Amino acid sequence: MMPHAARVVFDCNVLLQALASPNGPSGQCLAAVVAGRLVLIVSPEILAEFAEVATRPRVAQKLGVTEPMMQQALTTLRQIAVVVDNAPHTYTVPDDADDSIYINVALATGACVVTTRDNDLLRLMDESSPAGKEFVTRFPHLAVLTPVGLLALLRG
């Protein structure tokens, strides 16, 4: 069970999936933010990555995302999320340092969940690996979950 209005960080792909498929798991996670059940935390870097990836021609075509849709999504995200500047670099994701922003924003803001489908991030919860064991030991208050996992936690 999650605390009421728990702080969460969504990675770029979860944000993209929410935009492209509002009724899918990522869209339902974003709906929980809009409903006040979760507090979404983002950073300028996360928003910039979202905008950059969303405007890649192959991604935009595959997801059916237009420039106006993406701009509206950015405006909405800035309105519904807490935007945090300058999160200190506390942790580096071993398998993909570029993903570290999500963990560091979560750590800087006391978020309890990073939501992703990225295996480099999800592996941080695998205590059978040295990196996973170290992560879970260092940051026991932070979970890395898929959108489906976050929805299950919300349902209790």
Here the tokens at position 40 are: 């979404």
For residue 89, pLDDT beyond 80: yes
For residue 68, pLDDT beyond 70: yes
Within 10 angstroms of residue 135's Cβ, the number of other Cβ atoms is: 23
Which CATH class for the 6-155 domain? alpha beta
pLDDT band of 3, cuts 50, 70, 90:
low
- Taking only the tens place, the pLDDT of each residue in 126-142 is 999 999 999 999 999 99
Task: Return the beta strands (E) in the chain as ranges.
Answer: 6-10, 38-42, 82-83, 113-115, 143-145
CB distance 93 to 124 below 8 Å: yes
- Taking only the tens place, the pLDDT of each residue in 11-34 is 999 999 999 899 999 999 999 999
For residues 91-113, give the mean pLDDT: 97
For residue 80, pLDDT beyond 90: yes
pTM (predicted TM-score): 0.94
